[in-house]
Amino acid sequence: MVRIGAQCLLRPRGTSPIPFLQPSPTSDLPVERHYCRKRVALLLARSAPPVNILAGLYVADGIALYPGPDVVPGVPLVLYGSQYPGGKIFNKAAFVAAPPGTQGNFGRNVLRGFGATQADVAFQRRFALTEQLGLRFRAEFFNLFNHPNFGSPNNTLTSPLFGHSTQMLVSSLAGADNAGFNPLYQIGGPRSIQLALKLQF
């Protein structure tokens, strides 16, 4: 029998946009063009997703099976310390592969990876050159505080890197074949800045 964790697959996450509009104190343009400055802050926070341990690979009738491991009693599942990426690793000594063809006694959704937090901010300003001509400047800051977000630890028990996070969150979301979004459009990457200037007429 396989024990299923009582917690949901993904814990709560939240995204909160905070817009700010500021009128120009000297603007004499019509009301709909009076607000020429804008600031938007996007705050994202999520708790750690579950990580399930794979004890090996077995093929039965052409179907690939990834059974879970048995747990070693009395051994801590997670080790904490500043020497580990993200401050923790899964303890390989706490798990052992189950006998071939059987499912281990370690349940699903027991271990968790890493949470993620990120603040994105955008500033926009419109300069009225004439009644019909305007210049719009926009600056966008992604991960403004350059907060490190780690990808989930390696979950393959036979891997020498088992339990360690080997990449940042932005890279882990792309998948092993890098088929996901470009890191510039994902959360969890290093701080990046984007500037834009538009002439409107």
Which H, E and C letters describe 77-132, residue by residue?
A: CEEECCCCHHHEEECHHHEECCCCCCCCCCCECCEECCCEEEEEEEEEEEEECCCC
Instruction: Determine the pLDDT at residue 1.
Output: 36
Q: Inform me whether the pLDDT recorded for 80 exceeds 50.
A: yes
**117 falls in which pLDDT band (50, 70, 90)?**
very high
Which of 108, 7, 8 minimizes the C-alpha distance to 55? 108
Amino acid identity, position 120 = D
Q: Give dist(CA 64, CA 180) in Å, integer.
A: 24
Q: Give dist(CA 159, CA 112) in Å, integer.
A: 18
8-64 pLDDT per residue, tens: 444 555 555 555 555 555 544 444 444 456 777 888 888 999 999 998 777 777 777
Cβ(171)–Cβ(151) below 8 Å:
yes
Instruction: Determine the pLDDT at residue 166.
Output: 92
Which of 192, 167, 194, 162 minimizes the C-alpha distance to 178? 167
Cβ(45)–Cβ(117) below 8 Å:
yes
Which of 109, 118, 125 minimizes the C-alpha distance to 27? 125
154-164 pLDDT per residue, tens: 999 999 999 99
> How buried is 32 (Cβ within 10 angstroms: 0-12 exposed, 13-18 middle, 19+ buried)?
exposed
Tokens standing for residue 84: 């580990």
Least confident of 56-65, 91-100, 103-112: 56-65
When pLDDT is averaged across residues 179-185 and rounded to a whole number, the result is 64
